[in-house]
Structure 1
Amino acid sequence: MHGGTPHGGEVRIVPVASAAELSRFIRVPMRLNARDPNYIAPLMMERGEALSPKTNPFFAHAEVQLFLAERGGRDVGRISAQIDQLAPSDGGPKAGHFGLIAAEDDPAVFAALFAAAEAWLAARGCLRAQGPFNLSVNEEVGLLVDGFDTPPMVMMGHDPPYVAARVEALGYGKIKDVYAYKNLTSDDLPPRVRKLVERGAPEGVRLRMLDMKRYDEEVGVLTEILNDAWSENWGFTPTTEAETAQLAKSLKMVVDPRLTWFAEIDGEAAGFIVYLPNVNEAIRDLKGKLLPFGWAKLLWRLKVARVKSLRVPLMGVRRKFAGTRRGQLLPFLLITAGGLEARKLGYREVELSWILEDNMPMRRIGEAIGSRVYKTYRIYEKSLAA
């Protein structure tokens, strides 16, 4: 598959089929963004695992095809096309997803990549393409459209400013925006929230830290609450047991029990929050490589020197409690408990992300604690019906 281009030479599309091609696929954004001071190269090893059916349980319920664009012997772009069997139907025509988009600022490259992804999806009965999802709604989602001036936090994307216009020129329109909120870990809670928190936990409510001795069991409880709490959010796809186990394994090195809290109501686990040290801060200058000394540097920065920022990727309250007085107080109690520990440990900044633009309860919580939107990621859709 190919197309002409004003930059000379034709664009060839290569479906990724080998380990060498996967390695090239992973490296594309590293080369394209090498001069962007806010781009952080992901760890090659981590990306290799995330994009391999052997190590990412997402592939057990999804069909995935990665594509490379090359021209004149150089890789000039990449895209993924995937169909997740667990993704919910919104009642409209069958939708497939695209993701992992990275390309030179050339309309011909974007056109060739999207033509390949759309043809692949259409051949499998999809009448709409949505994305970007890298690879699932539970991983990185959306294309950065605002907030290019700061580096992304752990497990969040970063795209050059030109990408959105190139995607929109191919007929894609916004379906949802998701926001990243930033907050400083200061003692200065707004008065109304401080008053709530100072009263302490109401009767029957108990807060506790993650118990590392029961780590796998704790992650299981967390996932159960998450799947319940988020079940009615747009696009939400439940996390499978295998995905939970994989997440638990991959986060074990960076999870700090002092920064992961559970709330119980009358003895039942009712809510949780996870503050995750921002690994991106620790890998900024490793250029994707952990060898020969990257491991030592990474561990030193995470455990000894400590990074200064955190991300809250996961927080939830069981639906049966969410509408109750005690349940509504849980997010504030959890945020405060984790926030106090974060300050003691020397963390200075927290990102709450990502939050759907129409998830008003979460947005109100973010704003009530003094956070502000500082990055916007956009999810697009296009009809593939002829």
Structure 2
Amino acid sequence: MIKIVTVNSKKELASFIDFPHDLYQDDPNYVPELFIAQRDLLTKHPFHKHNSLQTFLAYNGDKIVGRIAAILNNAHNKYNKVNDGFFGFFDCINDTEVSTALFNAANTWLREKGVTDKFIGPVNFSTNEPCGLLIEGFDSPPFLMQTYNAPYYADLIAHTGFVKSMDLIAWHWEGDAYDDKSVRLLNALEERLKRNNIVIRKINLKNFKEEAVKLREVYNSAWDQNSGFVPLSNDEYDYLAKDLKLILDPDFAIVAEQEGKIVAFGLALPNYNEIFQKIKRGRLFPTGIFKLLFGKSKIQSLRIYALGVIDGYRKMGIEACLYGTIIKEYKRKGFKHAEAGWTLEHNELMNRAIEAINGDPYKKYRIYEKAI
């Protein structure tokens, strides 16, 4: 008999966060999320100021066998003029009775909140955070801030009536298996941009607060045509910027600026999942903190996290300069492989640009939908 429990207490929340560790304890590609980060995301994130979320656990007897979060993203609905609901943080044993019970609980909660259009997921909480179900590329661990799940999840989700909404692609480069044309042409491209008073530079960490304010407009406008996009509130953006500052390498935080206005940026992050994979159950204390501190210099992979150019500045060569600068630093610092992602499957401009530098579309994620 499957029992669904609404998560209300700190103990239940800890069980909710910890369930994937038990589910994937024998999976060599699983990377545990840091407990403190997940707890804060589910309780303290600015998202909760204007939106709603309810988490659920599925029990078989006294054993946890699944989890899900029902998410009402009011900002998404207002921006896109819809009345959708979302699910996220979905993990489950390979049992359709359990998954159906979880989805029914989330669906019921959303309907009670007044949702009438679509039921969409997985997203945690929007496409600004980790999202999508891994459907291709199960043979390697996820990169930083990417999702991971067992192959059978797709069948569980389809069994409940969900269909494809859109696919997201992650791209990979091994060693120096990239086209370095953008590096070879970097000086010439930068000189051409200077004629339009556009300069390519690294972000100034000493003046990070002011830089972050300038970047907010780019972040919220460069992807405004993407399916499911929702602008970050100022509080949400500040929360993200604060987190990213802790892990970014300024050599991989590149902006294009015209007369004091930032018009584009590229950001690549050291793949901290190489360290997180070794931190048992995502606990930094007592020993995980040392693995984190001493492992930073040993990271061998890089994730190109974001590359955005605001409307009116595209197809000027800025994208090539951003990629060229990141590739140049990747080579100089001796990284062994890299991932760019994700991109929407129908973003032809970006996907062609990545293919042109020999990107391998090695992982695919899917967001599903159905009528609520």
- The normalised TM-score by structure 1 is 0.91
Partner of 2:23: 32
Partner of 1:290: 284
1:244 to partner: Cα distance: 1.7
Change beyond 3 A, Cα 1:173–1:90: farther
1:188 to partner: Cα distance: 4.8
1:182, 1:349 within 8 Å by CA — same for their partners in 2? yes
3-state DSSP of counterpart to 2:189: coil
3-state DSSP of counterpart to 1:140: coil
1:231 to partner: Cα distance: 1.1
Select 2:299's aligned residue among 295, 301, 307: 307
3-state DSSP of counterpart to 1:370: coil
Mapped to 2, the partners of 1:91 and 1:337 lie a distance apart of: 35
Q: For the aligned residues, what is the CA RMSD? A: 1.7
1:22 to partner: Cα distance: 0.5
Partner of 1:161: 151
2:178, 2:359 within 8 Å by CA — same for their partners in 1? no
1:318 to partner: Cα distance: 1.2
Residues 368-383 of structure 1: pairs in structure 2 closer than 5 A: 368-383=356-371
1:93 to partner: Cα distance: 5.8
Q: Which one has the bigger helix percentage? A: 2
Structure 1 residues 160-205: Cα deviation after superposition (integer angstroms, max 9, x where no partner): 00010111011000010011111245285265x4664352311223
- The normalised TM-score by structure 2 is 0.94
Residues 1-386 of structure 1: pairs in structure 2 closer than 5 A: 10-52=1-43, 55-88=44-77, 94-127=83-116, 128-184=118-174, 186=176, 188-189=178-179, 191=181, 193=182, 196-197=185-186, 199-201=188-190, 202=192, 203=195, 204-287=197-280, 288-302=282-296, 305-322=297-314, 325-326=315-316, 329-384=317-372
Mapped to 2, the partners of 1:268 and 1:47 lie a distance apart of: 35
3-state DSSP of counterpart to 1:67: strand
2:183, 2:328 within 8 Å by CA — same for their partners in 1? no
Paired residues, what number? 366
1:190, 1:370 within 8 Å by CA — same for their partners in 2? no
* Counterpart code for 2:255: F
1:218 to partner: Cα distance: 1.4
- Mind listing any 5+ residue stretches in structure 2 that lack a counterpart? none
3-state DSSP of counterpart to 1:149: coil
Mapped to 1, the partners of 2:80 and 2:234 lie a distance apart of: 26
Mapped to 2, the partners of 1:14 and 1:74 lie a distance apart of: 12
Mapped to 1, the partners of 2:258 and 2:45 lie a distance apart of: 34
1:266 to partner: Cα distance: 4.7
3-state DSSP of counterpart to 1:87: helix
**Paired-residue identity, %:** 35
1:206, 1:264 within 8 Å by CA — same for their partners in 2? yes
* Counterpart code for 1:277: P
1:346 to partner: Cα distance: 2.0
